Copies of this chain bind each other. A is one copy, B any other.
Amino acid sequence: MILGIDIGGTNIKFGVVTEDYQLVKSWSIPTLSHRDIAEIIDDMIEKAREIQAEYHFDRIGIGTPGDIDSERGICHRAGNLPYNQTPLAAMIRDALNVPTCIANDATAALYGELYAGAGKAYQNIIMLTLGTGVGGGIAINGKPYLGSKGYGGELGHMIIHYDGLPCPCGLRGCYEQYASVTALVRQIKEAIAAHPDSLLAKIGGESPSARDVFSAKEQGCPVADAVLEQYTRYIAIGINSYEAIFQPEAFIIGGAISQQDENLLAPIREKMRKPNTLLTSSLKNDAGMIGAAVVATVFLQ
């Protein structure tokens, strides 16, 4: 068996996964990412040791946000975790005495879909993980393309409006400023402010979620409908660009919002320049853990 660890800005998830990538059991601990990185890693080690007392796993795979050097096992830096050239793979391996490898979380999720999920039938796919930002993964001839520097495709930083919204990367108009779940929540808030009597405003209240806009639309709210029309238009703009660049066999949408399935995909499909296969992640919330387990298998072979 394999231990797959999915490090996120909010929670760290641990999954014991079989050789054919079935999730046996999972655990979660809070990341508390404002802390020193050593404390965060100590908590991870403690939880992994608890699991080790109960289950036998012979390798560990870890997916984490940031610029990750899989070959050397080092986390250079991340937007929402306090890495600083942290030798994460060696720290976990030494504490647990189990071979360990690490990869960027979007790359891990792509591996998961390619080996054990919606991408199993394809060799060339683009995966877009919609969350706080837009993570991405490119598979070419059945293998993730990680770029010449090994950090993977930052598909959320393609520019879709050259004078658009400012991005923390320093440029304007990056895809993730429009197509991330963070962006959707901002778009919902703007719509609620403009239409305080709408059903969307009633459902969403002070701190609306992505789920609220789908509920409101289902109940016939035209404001929610307009928000989702615009949001799926933004998503489709990036997909149309990636279609021109890659002509993949399929696009896979990941992240918690992908649980909306056809409610999300159908309006995107209408806006695609060329027809292509558009799927949601079949591993859903488990994609990170299962992808990390796949990374352990592929990288430690």
Q: How many copies does the complex hold?
A: 2
Cross-chain contact of A244 among B153, B161, B163, B233 (Cβ < 8 A)? B153
Total interface residues on A, CB under 8 Å, equals 36
Cross-chain contact of A241 among B147, B157, B246 (Cβ < 8 A)? B157
B162 touches A245 (CB 8 A): no
Chain B residues closer than 8 Å to A78, beta-carbon distance: none
A160 at the interface (CB under 8 A from B): yes
A140 to B145, CA, bound (A): 9
A170 at the interface (CB under 8 A from B): yes
B140 touches A170 (CB 8 A): no
Cross-chain contact of A245 among B123, B155, B160, B161 (Cβ < 8 A)? B155
Chain B residues closer than 8 Å to A124, beta-carbon distance: 147-148
Within 218-247 of A, Cβ neighbours of B (below 8 Å) are at 233-234, 237, 240-241, 244-247
Could you give, for residues 96-112 of chain A, a 1 whenever the CB lies within 8 Å of some chain B CB and a 0 otherwise? 00000000000000000
B240 touches A149 (CB 8 A): no
- Of the candidates A153, A156, A234, A246, the one having the most CB atoms from chain B within 10 angstroms of its own CB is A246
B123 touches A170 (CB 8 A): no
Chain B residues closer than 8 Å to A273, beta-carbon distance: 169-171
A153 to B145, CA, bound (A): 15
Chain B residues closer than 8 Å to A160, beta-carbon distance: 159-162
B157 touches A244 (CB 8 A): yes
A248 at the interface (CB under 8 A from B): yes
Within 266-281 of A, Cβ neighbours of B (below 8 Å) are at 273
A158 at the interface (CB under 8 A from B): yes
Chain B residues closer than 8 Å to A163, beta-carbon distance: 161
B151 touches A237 (CB 8 A): no
B245 touches A153 (CB 8 A): yes
B241 touches A153 (CB 8 A): no
A237 touches B159 (CB 8 A): yes
Chain B residues closer than 8 Å to A71, beta-carbon distance: none
B148 touches A248 (CB 8 A): yes
A240 to B233, CA, bound (A): 22
A69 at the interface (CB under 8 A from B): no
Chain B residues closer than 8 Å to A173, beta-carbon distance: 161
Cross-chain contact of A153 among B147, B157, B246 (Cβ < 8 A)? B246
B149 touches A247 (CB 8 A): yes
What 10 A-B pairs are tightest by C-beta distance, nearest first? A147-B247, A157-B244, A154-B244, A158-B241, A124-B148, A148-B249, A149-B247, A162-B237, A159-B241, A153-B245
| Given contact pairs A157-B240, A158-B244, A171-B273, a sample of 7 additional A-B residue pairs in the complex whose CB atoms are under 8 Å apart | A124-B148, A147-B248, A153-B244, A156-B244, A161-B161, A162-B237, A170-B273
